[in-house]
Amino acid sequence: MHAEAFFTELAAAIDQALAPGERHATSYAAEDTDFIRLNRGKVRQPGHVAQRYVEIRLIHGMRHASHALSLCGDLPTDSQAVRAAVTALRSVLADVADDPHLLLPSTVNSTRTSRGGPLPASEAIVETVLDAANGHDLVGFLAAGPVYRGFANSDGQRNWHEITTFNLQWSLYFRADKAVKAAYSGFSWNDDELRSRMSAAAGQLSVIATPPKSLAPGKYRAYLPPAALQEVAQLLSFGGFSARALETQQSALAKMRTGVTLDSRVHISEDIATGVAPAFQADGFTRPPDVALIDAGALVGALVSPRTAREFALSANGANPWEAPEALSMRGGTLAADDALRALDTGLAVGNLWYLNYSDRPACRMTGMTRFATFWVENGKIVAPVDVLRFDDTLYRMFGDNLEALTAERELLLESNTYGSRLLTSFMLPGALLSEMSFTL
């Protein structure tokens, strides 16, 4: 039975198990994923993961309790399990206090989306990858296949999201910590695109093998490609755009509510329409295709979950409970990506950033390390690798006065975290040329 039909039948079983006055809000998460890990240019761990989970929330008045179940995929068995879960929740609900911040949709809004695929067999993808690596010491992983999300409630609302993607992350190693990291992800596989990215990584690896250039702490021109910018975006996602964090002055972007702005070319939104996240959340609220967060450098919006909406008298816009972006998108500029090093002229071409954290959250001051391939560029040409550096700078400097250009091309970057399951989080980002970036080590 197809995953959608299975969930529909399961939701019907939950409907039938309700007693008078009871309601339910049920979320479904599943995947059929090929996971393949590679090391030293060979397949080391091929596997397939098929898992299905359902979380049932039983509601009576302003009281509610939830139960999460792992499903076996056999409809009669799983239907019996969800009916037993409803019975168990009913006994718990009698002892639960009213929740003053409970907010549920007042209208029924059913949706259905299906995107991506079909993909080549994972064996064929890996064969292409290893052939393109051409004997280099490659380490990485491939996660590919469909991911499913569903929602159902006792009002008859049904939401379904099915998306098929691949996420290939790899590094070409020279020795010790000297490596070049690369990635290729999306909805449709292309052999030529993979070979182009592998060739670019191999070209950088040849530079990694040359003696590194030592740089003193200071301020340098810098180019951040989308992969490096993703780390900045991920740090901002932890509370930066949260309505609750903004209301309680805990957001790193709180100063933007007092008139502090970024460069007018900075436009950031939650772009559900082009990402991989579902257009609904666990309470049943649907998400608009696009929520403007920063427009022309000014903070204009926030991600508002139902509980925050109830507590602070705001309008919910389909945000998840932690109010973090799931499809963060930054508008591109006018600089051609192929011209980025020429525009940089002399400075740092940063491959990746990592270990980012706030050194001063109210000032949105970030610190972190460069990682993998970072190069010194002179006259628009890479001349030497650079040893690991630590940066410490504010978002208001980097993407304010110091923002020189954004690339016209943007890249779709999928979340690589697979602890427990694949996450449906994506970033659509350009590269950024900065006239100055502060490095402290």
Query: What span, in angstroms and rounded, lies between the C-alpha atoms of 431 and 183?
Result: 15
Q: What is the dihedral of CA 318, 320, 325, 326, to 10 degrees?
A: -90
Domain ranges of the chain: 3-125+140-166, 218-439
> Is 0.85 topped by the overall pTM?
yes
Q: How many whole angstroms from its chain centre is CA 11?
A: 28
In this predicted model, what pLDDT tens digit does every residue of 38-97 receive, in sequence order? 999 999 999 999 999 999 999 999 999 999 999 999 999 999 999 999 999 999 998 999
In this predicted model, what pLDDT tens digit does every residue of 241-293 receive, in sequence order? 999 999 999 999 999 999 999 999 999 999 999 999 999 999 999 999 999 99
- Residue 322, SS3 per DSSP: coil
Query: What span, in angstroms and rounded, lies between the C-alpha atoms of 214 and 191?
Result: 38
Beta bridge partners of 357: 367
- Residue 170, SS3 per DSSP: strand
pLDDT of residue 209: 87
Q: 3-125+140-166 has which CATH code?
A: 3.30.2290.10
Query: What span, in angstroms and rounded, lies between the C-alpha atoms of 404 and 346?
Result: 14
Q: What is the dihedral of CA 139, 276, 73, 85, to 10 degrees?
A: 120
* 316: Cβ contacts below 8 Å, ≥ 6 apart: 103, 285, 304, 305, 306, 308, 309
Query: Could you give the count of Cα atoms lying within 13 Å of 300 in the half-sphere of its Cβ?
Result: 16
